[in-house]
Structure 1
């Protein structure tokens, strides 16, 4: 059995020892202790692509930050973006004393190499997303790019390993934490278990669907909740609703067709 799966896949999002014990006992009784998930070759390949790209982006950001450190050490307070065309032009003309000039040149060269590698992987990610039925379905959602679609597919794996939408929400960490004390029950912030990258992409896709693509279904849900609570709570809840829609789409092999939307 996979200890992580016991925590992530189980329905229980209530943070009490009593509930946890009951949940585990139920799983043992029903013989439903989850086995370690073994992804298919397609899922493993997708994971390698999106995680590889993310690592390259992190490396590039690291060198950009090193450049900011060099500039700060030499009293250059101008805001410079090493990844932008204007920023690179400014840095190319900058004259620093040795050996920092050589360091700056090396960092810029490494950023250029990493950028080319990132672009190469992004082209492959786009091609892969266009060839899989799961990602093709996800890309019918307004605001969901090929990169978001492939990342969701890669990190979730085969959708049939989840019995219901609630399990996917818990797996990604968008489920609210429930705390009980006596007869009182409190719903707190989300658990943030699972992939933070997936949560971030879902929030960004939800923001795009609501504010840019004007998705009627998600916009109506977001606006209603934002009036009652606040925009941050509303967009996280919208991301959760978007994930639930994704689950049903993949489970039923259907394109995005939200309920109650005029056509």
Structure 2
């Protein structure tokens, strides 16, 4: 039997298909009751899309079924239907599973999930703090206050609390500053947990031997890449992160454009920052020589992105071989 499971927030639409391609059952099941369905079809194959809440459902079903997780974007590109309803989607999933044509999505381990939750949670807190800092700047601008203030620093907040602006804007300012302070404290607490987590994993311990890679950068890279053995080589990792150049070929011409920017923008940004530190602060001879050679022919921005790409290639081989960072001419 082949089970196509279209998962929603509280329920799932399930289509059960037999070996001959005939639908033998269609049922809508509360997510909390999927375990009962899985037991009834124990040993069968099942497929569900990688939605926001699929981890728990995948784990529950996997106790009884052979579960495949489908890549949502890729499956929409190849699905053989123009209709979009729960029943149609469930049947299409079952059909593709029977034909062995499901584009699979990576299912991270519990360890990787925990790392992702930590670094993505921190990113959310930082984004919220930045939002309130921008509100402070907007409020000051509305009242003609143009002096340079830094609401993200202790000194900046103390200075802002000494300003005299009319009601109710003074109350709003105080609220924004309190929220920034609270979020800063939560970020610091989370940083301690992230540092502890990074120090406990062999993969992140290896990554932190790279000049310019902190515990947060190391854990983010590990969390977003997941198991390195799921990649066939360094080119696949570079493409996954979106640091691969876009190549356009036409006839005899070949034009290399900017990077594809697929995957995690946060990882790309962190790799570029790490490359900047390695080249300009940490005196990483390996990357510095590479950067200087490119910067003399191209602009510095292209050169640092290429250095970040080269660092990512090193990261792939480090994790693949279980080795610390030790390229030619560099002491880790």
Equivalent residue number for residue 239 of structure 2? 170
Taking structure 2 as the reference length, the TM-score comes to 0.69
Equivalent residue number for residue 149 of structure 2? 80
- Give CA deviations for 1:9-47 in whole Å, capped at 9, x if unaligned: xxxxxxxxxxxxxxxxxxxxxx89752111001100000
166 and 3 in structure 1: CA distance in 2 versus 1, 3 angstrom threshold: farther
How far apart, CA to CA, are the structure 2 residues paired with 1:262 and 1:53?
32
Equivalent residue number for residue 221 of structure 1? 290
The structure whose residues are more often strand, as a share, is 2
Q: Is structure 2 residue 138 aligned with structure 1 residue 54?
A: no
Equivalent residue number for residue 212 of structure 2? 143
How far apart, CA to CA, are the structure 2 residues paired with 1:185 and 1:82?
49
Report which structure shows greater RCO (CA 8 Å, sep ≥6): 1
104 and 260 in structure 1: CA distance in 2 versus 1, 3 angstrom threshold: closer
- Residue number among 105, 110, 113 corresponding to 1:36 in the alignment: 105
How far apart, CA to CA, are the structure 1 residues paired with 2:272 and 2:182?
30
How far apart, CA to CA, are the structure 2 residues paired with 1:58 and 1:232?
25
The structure whose residues are more often helix, as a share, is 1
How far apart, CA to CA, are the structure 1 residues paired with 2:175 and 2:149?
17
Are the equivalent residues in 2 in contact too, given 1:5–1:36 (CA < 8 A)? no
Are the equivalent residues in 1 in contact too, given 2:284–2:330 (CA < 8 A)? no
Are the equivalent residues in 1 in contact too, given 2:242–2:262 (CA < 8 A)? yes
SS at match of 1:174: coil
How far apart, CA to CA, are the structure 2 residues paired with 1:150 and 1:5?
28
Are the equivalent residues in 1 in contact too, given 2:243–2:260 (CA < 8 A)? yes
How far apart, CA to CA, are the structure 2 residues paired with 1:144 and 1:120?
20
- Residue number among 243, 266, 278 corresponding to 1:209 in the alignment: 278
Equivalent residue number for residue 78 of structure 2? none
Taking structure 1 as the reference length, the TM-score comes to 0.87
- State how many pairs are aligned: 239
SS at match of 2:320: helix
Q: Is structure 2 residue 269 aligned with structure 1 residue 195?
A: no
175 and 143 in structure 1: CA distance in 2 versus 1, 3 angstrom threshold: same
SS at match of 1:228: coil
120 and 192 in structure 1: CA distance in 2 versus 1, 3 angstrom threshold: same
How far apart, CA to CA, are the structure 2 residues paired with 1:32 and 1:242?
35
| 5+ residue gaps, structure 1 | 7-30
Equivalent residue number for residue 15 of structure 1? none
How far apart, CA to CA, are the structure 2 residues paired with 1:34 and 1:245?
28
Equivalent residue number for residue 100 of structure 1? 169
- Residue number among 70, 76, 101 corresponding to 2:139 in the alignment: 70
Provide the alpha-carbon RMSD of the alignment: 1.7
